[in-house]
Amino acid sequence: MEESKNKRLKFRSGNLLNKIVIVTILLIVVLNIFRYAAYFEKGKNDEIQISIHDAVNLELSNSVYIDENDVIYLSEEDMKKYFDKDLYYVQIENSKRKYISVFENKVIELVEDENHMFLNDARYKIKGEVTNRDGVYYFPISELTEAYNIKVDYLKDKNRINIDKLSEEKITAVVSKDTNLKYKMTDISKNLGMLKQGDTVEIIEKMDKTWTKIKTSEYMIGYIKSSKLEKEKTEREAVRRDDYSRFDMKNSTIIEVDDSTYPNMNEALSEYDTRKAKIKEILKTAIDEVVQLKGKSIGVKINLTSIDNSENYYRFLKELKAYLNDMNVCLIVVDQGNMETQDLENVSNIIL
């Protein structure tokens, strides 16, 4: 009887041990599945893949919209995220929106449902227009290449859009040996495609000594071994912004804009049209000086002490700077303490 009982106990303990081993093995399998799953591309649907310069796997606020003429649209939120965070609009006649954006030395105006734009007051015809789709405003980004200095490519058969910022640096390299483009930085990761010896690719980022993140000519983005790249070169230098750090205020002509020469500026800056009218006044004076002095350095000095609304003042300076710098005229601003230092640096060439 005792012997039979001992046998049953041994059987139960052996059975328990087997179960523990099996569970342990299953746990190891599951953990490895989770571990290696990250190295494989998740199944793609028909969603459009978009890259903006070296920004990939973008989290857009709204889906890209493409019309029947293959004009590509980005939402207002995504325009702010990737092109101009200060993009804003004013309400005009017929409850339409007029959007104002500043990029480099250009003031951009776009009116809802109108197929043209203004760049520093020069009119350009475009195919698309700012449009309201289910409460979301969309911009025809593929038609705004002149405005934002970009190149937009749409590979319809591959469902890919690439927006290249032509003001930014571009570095390329040549594939030295046939190799696979990887989804992740590991040999076990899924192959996205084959790269042939002699293919030219764009370098997005050198991740470490082993791997480089690249973009192919068909705008696939992934990783390859750095050792498989050669003939690296800078295809395009970043556009240098106008540098006024050596602007000689003592020997330059300075146009003064202060409370005495331009009274009632608070009221003038409160609306876009009146703000623009004041900018035009300042520009006329600057243009007259440019014509008369023929090559001599010119600056516009803003010294307004009675500004109440910092947001209107910020827009005024940003828009004025674009116009002035387009004429190679320096914008000098006296800091009145009514704006954050970083914001003031963004909208002026020299701060006093």
**Domain of residue 204, CATH code:** 2.30.30.40
Q: What percent of the chain has pLDDT over 70?
A: 86
Q: Is residue 9 part of a domain?
A: yes
146 and 122 fall within a common domain:
yes
Instruction: Tell me the pLDDT band of 36, cut-offs 50, 70 and 90.
Output: very low
Range picked from 39-43, 237-241, 305-309 for highest mean pLDDT: 305-309
Task: Enter the pTM of the model.
Answer: 0.83
Q: Is residue 158 part of a domain?
A: no
pLDDT value for 12 = 53
pLDDT value for 26 = 61
* pLDDT tens sequence across 57-68: 678 999 999 999
Query: In terms of C-beta density within 10 A (0-12 exposed, 13-18 middle, 19 or more buried), how is residue 269 classed?
Result: buried
Look at residue 163 and give its three-state secondary structure: strand
Q: Is residue 317 part of a domain?
A: yes
In this structure, what token pair is assigned to residue 262?
A: 């331009």
334 and 279 fall within a common domain:
yes
* pLDDT tens sequence across 125-138: 999 999 999 999 99
55 and 147 fall within a common domain:
yes
253 within 8 A of 243, measured Cβ to Cβ: no
Q: Is residue 342 part of a domain?
A: yes
Q: What percent of the chain has pLDDT over 90?
A: 61
Q: Which of 207, 236, 265 is the last residue of a domain?
A: 236
* pLDDT tens sequence across 142-154: 999 999 999 999 9
The position carrying tokens 């990029």 is 103
Q: Is residue 81 part of a domain?
A: yes
pLDDT value for 289 = 80
206 and 112 fall within a common domain:
no
pLDDT value for 49 = 85
275 and 218 fall within a common domain:
no
pLDDT value for 18 = 63
* pLDDT tens sequence across 153-185: 999 998 899 999 999 999 999 999 999 999 888
Rounded to whole angstroms, the Cα distance separating 193 from 178 reads 11
54 and 149 fall within a common domain:
yes
Q: Is residue 40 part of a domain?
A: no
Q: Which of 119, 153, 187 is the last residue of a domain?
A: 153
Residue 229: domain span? 169-236
**Mean pLDDT across the chain, nearest whole number?**
86
* CA dihedral sign of residues 90, 150, 82, 330: negative
Q: Which CATH number do you get for residue 122?
A: 3.30.457.10
pLDDT value for 8 = 52
Q: What's the total number of domains in the chain? A: 4
